[in-house]
Amino acid sequence: MSPDKRPVRRAVIVAARRTAVCPRGGALAHLQADELAAPVLRQLLSDADLAPDAVDQVLLGNALYGGGNPARLAALRAGLPASVPAMTIDTQCCSGLDAILQGARMIESGAAECVLAGGAESFSRAPIRMHRPETAEGRPVAYDRPSFAPPPFGDPDLTEAAACLADRLGVARTAQADFAVTSHSKADAAMPAIGKRLVRPDAGAPDRDGFTRPLTRKTVLRAPVLAGGADAGLNAATIACEADGAAAVLILSEEAWAKRGGGPCLNIRQGVSVGGDPADPALVPIEAVRQLLNDQGVAVRHLAAVELMEAYAVQAQVTMAELGLDPARMNRLGGALARGHPIGASGAILVVQLFQSLGSQESAAESGERLGLALIAAAGGLGTAMLFESAVSKGG
């Protein structure tokens, strides 16, 4: 969408929250995905001083729940009226960001005035997956993941696909290690600031991400290679760990926010979802970003902050290089290598990080920092990117 065709009705994010992210089997392992999300939704309404009955729609991404509608469960747990509809979105890793994009489109179209959107995932509580037998005499067959693309398309394991990418482009283990070390270093330094944005789902929940730690290149390289060869292989430090967590934002129309007195917000400029080669999913968001920036008349140099999902160090490194992203402006609060990957929530976490990084228009204007980009890849060859702008809506 070109700048002159931008929707007249703008969607703005006025509040953004998340839980801590903890590795599978860690401090959040006793909570289902909807139990993680519900306190986040409640806190968003409190932050914006809105009553539960002001919400028109709840949209949550989730990839592992195994059925049902965890968005509906989370909405009811959060105390929203039973009359408020809720929808769960599954585009795997893109789910949380896609939920926010769809929420923005509902606002822009006039279908809603207030939307809660984000994602939630519990690797720890995910159902055990089994295929039913084809005959009465057969036995159920366990499986780790569903197919993301049918024949004749390639449907590689994502870790194997990332290892092939590293080998094909010659991204050395040492370079991947350095990237992981930097991610942890940023996250560790930013933890006090990150903590201000976190919601504790219960009294025993942590107030910091559970995987972040000081790392050195030597420590990372000591970990055994899990996929790929000796020169460019991937290990546990250069692959985002399976994790639990939830994140969401409160989206209003700009007019509705102004009527409530206005204040700092993130304008949602536009979003793009694209499809690409299922056998090479890590590269798909590159095209999404190119389309988005071209449509909006924005150059990479105009971006003040970028949140790029680090499912794999190599995937993030290649994307950064292909798009010409400034490392100093990317994942300022650390990336997923330092916190983990709660699949359905990861895209929404990117937006929460941007909300915190960009701040208000006044503070951003002092340094010329206004535009933020979030981008993420997903299994099956999907990619989503969204462009945001820090602003202050004036009360009406």
The question of whether 131 is a catalytic residue gets the answer: no
Distances (CA, A) of 131 to 139, 157, 251: 9, 19, 39
List all residues 6 or more positions away from 210 whose beta carbon is below 8 Å from its beta carbon: 20, 21, 22, 23, 26, 27, 28, 243, 339, 340
Q: Is the dihedral of CA 186, 187, 189, 192 positive or negative?
A: positive
The question of whether 184 is a catalytic residue gets the answer: no
Whole-number CA gyration radius for the chain: 20
Tokens 């929940």 found at: 205
Q: Could you tell me which of 94, 90, 89, 85 has the C-alpha nearest to residue 114? A: 85
> How many Å is the maximal CA-CA distance in the chain?
71
Q: Could you tell me which of 183, 212, 180, 163 has the C-alpha nearest to residue 307? A: 183
Catalytic residue among 22, 93, 94, 265: 93
Catalytic residue among 22, 94, 114, 341: 341
Token pair for 110:
């006039």
- Could you give the CA distance from residue 27 to residue 77 in angstroms, rounded to a whole number? 21
Q: Which residues are catalytic?
A: 93, 341
